[in-house]
Amino acid sequence: MNFTQGFRDSALAQKLLENIRRKSKTPANIMEFCGGHTVAIFRYGLRELLPPHLKLLSGPGCPVCVTASADLDKVMALAAVPGVVITTFGDLIKVPASYSSLDRARAAGADVRTVYSTLDALDIARQNPDKKVVFVGIGFETTAPTIAAAILQAAAEKLSNFSVLSLHKVTPPVTKVLLDAGEVKLQGIICPGHVSAIIGADAWEFIPERYGIACAVSGFEPLDVLQCVNLIVEQIEAGTPKVETAYSRAVKAEGNPIALKMLDTVFEPSAANWRGIGEIPGSGLKIRSEYAAYDADKLFDIKLDKPSREPAGCLCGEVIRAVKTPEDCKLFRKVCTPENPVGPCMVSSEGSCAAYYHFAEVID
């Protein structure tokens, strides 16, 4: 048995489910913040196994999905600059910006390269001293430390043709905005796993303290999610909301101090624009002035010649806020498919629409 199989044991899953069914009396909406959880919940059919009065809702947790069209248009503008090489993780390539996508820009001659890590992007910069290599930094606290490490490495090497367009976002501020808006009444939150490994479970204390909502951090295996729901149900039934962790093999209360230090060295908090939500103060990470030589926003005069717009008919903004599900969207499956995605939630591997597309049919 390998390490992950232990977290997929069906007898243990059955026990946890029996516990949940026995203890849970109160109807509850439980939102999973993470796109990674949405995928795990669908892959293992967990929604259907829980008592019907427990409703799992998908939240905003995919960094690609929450990137606003205007920010994607900035990426497209950069891709059009002569001599610029855009490097990015694969998910972003097919995501539609207002008028095109990196995929289409590449077909039209732009130099767009998919990388598996920022180290690859640094290599491309080293090998192409005559080009300006821009890494598109999209991600939450999970990926931002690796981008910070790449900037520190570039600075150590005095690499003058590498920069980052930082579109990073941090997660507690958006959680507060969603809870303050109260569009969906939540009784529980499944807190993000990888994000919490960096920022620490304590970062979510405001959820029970300020909003009285039960919460627990989860990993990405079926037993992790069931254990997390079990903890949340216990909190709801006891009326004692708090922060618990069903992912202690990766998450500590205080997070990862080395990664946090690296983040703080390279980035500072800034406002960020979230798809479907708008600008949220303090929810982004901009590159500190000490590292301005690696900040694509400062190095290039990025101008958008047309106003940004959302894809017509796409409900990604509402899906991200858990106000609508992909099945509420008239384009879902008919016009919008992974082969022909209309919005980012259908493109990203952590997107809700892609998860519904790939798994909901199997479950029905």
Query: Binding residue for ligand SF4 (CB under 6 A) from 75, 115, 251, 319?
Result: 319
Closest approach of ligand SF4 to the CB of residue 283, in Å: 14
Query: Binding residue for ligand SF4 (CB under 6 A) from 24, 36, 145, 201?
Result: 36
Q: Note whether 173 and 280 are within 8 A (CB).
A: yes
CB nearer to ligand SF4: pick between 33 and 291: 33
Is position 343 an interface residue for ligand SF4 (rule: CB under 6 A)?
yes
Is position 59 an interface residue for ligand SF4 (rule: CB under 6 A)?
no
Is position 200 an interface residue for ligand SF4 (rule: CB under 6 A)?
no
Is position 314 an interface residue for ligand SF4 (rule: CB under 6 A)?
yes
Is position 192 an interface residue for ligand SF4 (rule: CB under 6 A)?
yes
Q: At CB < 8 A and 24+ separation, what contacts does 242-245 make?
A: 242/208, 242/214, 242/215, 243/191, 243/201, 243/202, 243/204, 243/205, 243/207, 243/208, 243/215, 243/216, 243/217, 244/201, 244/215, 244/216, 244/217, 245/196, 245/201, 245/216, 245/217
Enumerate residues 142-171 that contact ligand SF4 by CB under 6 A: 142
Burial of 285 (0-12, 13-18, 19+ CB in 10 A): buried
Closest approach of ligand SF4 to the CB of residue 122, in Å: 21
Query: Binding residue for ligand SF4 (CB under 6 A) from 172, 173, 255, 326?
Result: 326
Rounded to whole angstroms, what are the CA distances from 97 to 107, 196, 310? 15, 30, 8
Is position 92 an interface residue for ligand SF4 (rule: CB under 6 A)?
no
Rounded to whole angstroms, what are the CA distances from 11 to 8, 227, 234? 9, 13, 21
Rounded to whole angstroms, what are the CA distances from 145 to 73, 161, 346? 25, 21, 27
Query: 324: Cβ–Cβ under 8 A, 6 or more apart, which residues?
Result: 315, 318
CB nearer to ligand SF4: pick between 84 and 226: 226
CB nearer to ligand SF4: pick between 34 and 41: 34
Is position 34 an interface residue for ligand SF4 (rule: CB under 6 A)?
yes
Query: Binding residue for ligand SF4 (CB under 6 A) from 57, 92, 195, 277?
Result: 195
Is position 61 an interface residue for ligand SF4 (rule: CB under 6 A)?
yes
CB nearer to ligand SF4: pick between 39 and 287: 39
User: How is residue 135 written in tokens?
Assistant: 């890494």
Query: Binding residue for ligand SF4 (CB under 6 A) from 124, 201, 213, 316?
Result: 316
29 DSSP β-pair partners: 55
CA distance 53 to 28: 6
Enumerate residues 251-290 that contact ligand SF4 by CB under 6 A: none
CB nearer to ligand SF4: pick between 36 and 284: 36
Query: Binding residue for ligand SF4 (CB under 6 A) from 315, 320, 322, 355?
Result: 315
Tokens 């569009």, located at residue = 183
With CA atoms as reference, report the closest residue to 346 among 364, 323, 329: 329
Query: 10: Cβ–Cβ under 8 A, 6 or more apart, which residues?
Result: none
Given the rule CB under 6 A, which residues bind ligand SF4?
34-36, 61-62, 140, 142, 192-195, 314-316, 319, 326, 329, 331-332, 336, 342-343, 345-346, 350, 353
